[in-house]
């Protein structure tokens, strides 16, 4: 949700932290602040976007070589400056930033108030500051005071602390799943961040904190320990992303850039995993013998949001290609219904960020019940990646736009590869079948490129015509039903138009009542096994004066004649059509949001990585 950045070194620390926060603004953005140490502790905070903080810092800079900063997405307390992080204690000795929720903050605050502490904000985070202050006043050093304070907190937290009593230090901690805590290692300088893009331009060597671990960071050293004080040795990980990938470049929005990156991210997803001559798929990160693959009785795929729509495609693909029973669930529901899991069940989690709290909890539930844990995840070293017994890294590169795009198509491609891999190991896919599918995969980056290059689809004209509509319907069948769901989600989250995705066959059981001359209906009608059935849906919408925007294969004049508008896509293998079709719907949503003047990369109320329940 929120974003944390820290720096200790020889540079202007608040400037480094501010630049890092800019890279994390997608995580939360109702207020922001920085605390810096320059002999004394100084804090600057501002309500609203990060640019407000930047203006304040220009007027009154915060000099110093050690600083921590935070972008906030409010959970406790209104999004006003008084509630923005960092929070200092009364004496101005300690400053704290936190991601997460202190679930027991009410009794803790009452106790601290009884002891004479006066609170200045409505946040849960401020109790952490007062607790640390209390233990320092009792004679503990900063690290010991933090440990004692953190041990009293209930909930999940990522925390950073500075104090003018020990001015060269940042204390960082991770307690439970409240997003990543990443220490970036430099030469004569070290960094702290909740997500990799914040520090990517400075270092690609990072250490991920695990649950209940702390780091004491100075310019020249980083010491790791558990919350009980016992030291822990951590390995640094080399991040393969480069800094340019986390930059907007020539594009107006990150979402736009990420949509246009899809031919390349799909290519990267395939690279080294498919032998296009034999059709053989190798997933090195998921080594399996044929016997192990044959022993799998069921796969349960769990995820949230856009990733949960990829799950529906995955169910179809894995059952079809590998002959394994697949069930699917929202990660947020899975853990609350006492799911049936045993040693022959694989729990497959899908997550771009690898930090979504519900997805992590679903994996933990699977672990408790003895299942095997796999994941398809974009962020190397993230919590989902680390907890998994086997993981497929998406190779989508950093995704910054809040609305997921390239991670979705990378996931669909990975699910296809997983289906082929299991199908080959289990003897379900023949050699000829594998070669045919591999040939279809080989064309996928090129086809995605055609969707993006094709001037035939006039998204801007459609946006001009329909940007003032209040409702949209998206209809699809079979593999394209999840794509209808995803098209509707993309539209609603970035343009705030109410949109519903529906399985087309269910239309007549209710939603058909909604159709009138004001209702645009996006019908997904590629040439596949349900093509004729979809045509009859188009007829039904038209006969009730609905506005049909049909997504068709190039040159499909028959459907074009029955529709008000067409969006055409090149012909792909039917099992890969969702990858191509969704790019068109991403562009439709994008241009609609731009026409409505919405903030495409930072839609209201949304954050990129949902680390609180």
Query: Which residues of the shown chain bind ligand F6R in the complex (CB under 6 A)?
Result: 304-307, 351-353, 356, 359, 403-404, 493, 609-610
Q: Which is nearer to ligand F6R, 136 or 410 (CB)?
A: 410
The rounded distance, in Å, linking the Cα atoms of 118 and 514 is: 56
- Both tokens assigned to 163: 């104090």
Q: Which is nearer to ligand F6R, 384 or 538 (CB)?
A: 384
Strands 40-47 vs 94-100: parallel, antiparallel or unpaired:
unpaired
Question: Contact at 8 Å (CB) between 207 and 235?
Answer: yes
Strands 345-351 vs 372-377: parallel, antiparallel or unpaired:
parallel
Least distance (Å) from ligand F6R to the CB of residue 172? 22
Q: Is 234 a catalytic residue?
A: no
Q: Which is nearer to ligand F6R, 67 or 610 (CB)?
A: 610
Least distance (Å) from ligand F6R to the CB of residue 306? 3
CA torsion sign for 541, 545, 546, 551 is: positive
Among candidate residues 569, 240, 589, 269, the one with its CA nearest the CA of residue 401: 589
Q: Which is nearer to ligand F6R, 508 or 604 (CB)?
A: 604
Number of C-beta neighbours around residue 400 at 10 A: 23
Three-class SS string for 519-536?
CEEEEEECCCCCHHHHHH
Question: Contact at 8 Å (CB) between 416 and 317?
Answer: yes
Catalytic residue among 169, 406, 490, 608: 608
Q: Hunting for tokens 């080399």 — which residue is that? A: 238
Q: Which is nearer to ligand F6R, 150 or 416 (CB)?
A: 416
Q: Which is nearer to ligand F6R, 30 or 493 (CB)?
A: 493
Among candidate residues 562, 493, 569, 557, the one with its CA nearest the CA of residue 521: 562
Rounded to 5°, angle at Cα 69 from 152 and 245: 120
Least distance (Å) from ligand F6R to the CB of residue 601? 12
Least distance (Å) from ligand F6R to the CB of residue 331? 8
Least distance (Å) from ligand F6R to the CB of residue 292? 27
Q: Which is nearer to ligand F6R, 196 or 610 (CB)?
A: 610
Least distance (Å) from ligand F6R to the CB of residue 180? 12
Least distance (Å) from ligand F6R to the CB of residue 599? 14
Residue nearest to ligand F6R (CB): 305
Three-class SS string for 397-459?
CCCCCCCCCHHHHHHHHHHHHHHHHHHHHCCCCCHHHHHHHHHHHHHHHHHHHHHHHCCCCCH
Least distance (Å) from ligand F6R to the CB of residue 263? 20
Among candidate residues 411, 302, 440, the one with its CA nearest the CA of residue 360: 302
- What lies within 8 Å, CB to CB, of 306 at 6+ separation is 352, 403, 404, 407, 408, 486, 489
Q: Is 44 a catalytic residue?
A: no
Q: Which is nearer to ligand F6R, 126 or 195 (CB)?
A: 195
C-alpha torsion 281→284→288→290, nearest 10: 30
Rounded to 5°, angle at Cα 29 from 25 and 35: 80
Catalytic residue among 2, 44, 146, 304: 2
How buried is 509 (Cβ within 10 angstroms: 0-12 exposed, 13-18 middle, 19+ buried)?
exposed
- What lies within 8 Å, CB to CB, of 609 at 6+ separation is 1, 27, 179, 195, 353, 355, 356
- Both tokens assigned to 14: 């608040």
Residues marked active site are found at 2, 608
């Amino acid at each position: 949700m929120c974003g944390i950045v820290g720096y200790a070194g020889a540079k202007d620390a608040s400037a480094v932290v501010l630049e890092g926060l800019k890279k994390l603004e997608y995580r939360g953005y109702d207020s922001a602040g920085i605390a810096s140490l320059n002999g004394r502790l100084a804090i600057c905070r501002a309500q609203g976007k990060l640019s407000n903080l930047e203006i304040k810092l220009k007027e009154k800079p915060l000099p110093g070589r050690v600083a921590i900063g935070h972008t906030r997405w409010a959970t406790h307390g209104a999004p006003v400056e008084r509630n923005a992080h960092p929070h200092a204690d009364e004496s101005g000795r300690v400053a704290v930033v936190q991601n997460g929720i202190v679930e027991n903050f009410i009794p803790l605050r009452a106790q601290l108030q009884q002891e004479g502490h006066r609170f200045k904000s409505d946040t849960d985070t401020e109790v952490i500051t007062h607790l640390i202050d209390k233990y320092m006043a009792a004679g503990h050093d900063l690290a010991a005071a933090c440990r004692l304070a953190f041990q009293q907190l209930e909930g999940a937290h990522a925390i950073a602390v500075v104090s003018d009593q020990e001015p060269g230090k940042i204390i960082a901690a991770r307690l439970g799943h409240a997003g990543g805590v990443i220490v970036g290692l430099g030469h004569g300088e070290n960094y702290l961040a909740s997500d990799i893009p914040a520090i990517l331009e400075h270092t690609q060597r990072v250490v991920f904190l695990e649950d209940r671990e702390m780091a004491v960071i100075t310019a020249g050293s980083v010491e790791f320990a558990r919350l009980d004080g016992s030291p822990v040795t951590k390995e640094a990980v080399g991040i393969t992303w480069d800094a340019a990938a986390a930059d907007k470049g020539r594009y107006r929005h990150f979402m736009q850039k990420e949509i246009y990156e899809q031919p390349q991210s799909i290519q990267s997803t395939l690279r080294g995993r498919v032998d296009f001559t034999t059709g053989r798929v190798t997933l090195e990160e998921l080594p399996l013998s044929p016997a192990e693959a044959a022993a799998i009785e069921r796969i349960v795929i769990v995820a949230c949001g856009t990733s949960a729509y990829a799950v529906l495609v995955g169910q179809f693909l894995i059952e079809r290609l590998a002959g394994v029973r697949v069930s699917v669930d929202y990660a947020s529901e899975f853990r609350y219904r006492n799911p049936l899991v045993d040693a022959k069940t694989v729990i497959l989690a899908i997550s771009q960020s690898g930090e979504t709290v519900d997805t992590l909890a679903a994996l933990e539930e699977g672990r408790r019940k003895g299942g095997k844990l796999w994941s398809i995840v974009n962020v190397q070293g993230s919590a989902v990646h680390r907890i998994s017994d086997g993981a497929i890294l998406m190779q989508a590169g950093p995704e910054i736009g809040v609305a997921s795009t390239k991670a979705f198509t990378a996931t669909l491609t990975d699910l296809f590869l997983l289906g082929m891999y299991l199908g080959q190991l289990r003897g379900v896919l023949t050699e000829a079948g594998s070669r045919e599918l591999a040939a279809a995969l080989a064309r996928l980056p090129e086809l995605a490129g055609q969707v993006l290059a094709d001037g035939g689809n006039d998204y801007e004209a459609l946006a001009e015509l329909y940007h003032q509509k209040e409702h949209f319907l998206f209809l699809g069948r079979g593999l394209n039903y999840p794509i209808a769901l995803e098209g509707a989600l993309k539209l609603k989250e970035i343009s705030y138009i109410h949109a519903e995705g529906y399985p087309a066959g269910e239309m007549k059981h209710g939603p058909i009542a909604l159709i009138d001359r004001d209702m645009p209906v996006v019908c997904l009608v590629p040439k596949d096994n349900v093509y004729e059935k979809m045509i009859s849906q188009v007829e039904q919408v038209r006969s009730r004066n609905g506005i049909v925007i049909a997504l068709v294969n190039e040159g499909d004049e028959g459907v074009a004649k029955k529709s008000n508008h067409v969006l055409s896509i090149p012909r792909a293998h039917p099992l890969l059509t969702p990858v191509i079709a969704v790019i068109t719907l991403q562009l439709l949503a994008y241009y609609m949001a731009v026409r409505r003047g919405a903030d495409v990369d930072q839609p209201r109320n949304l954050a990129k990585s949902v680390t609180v329940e």
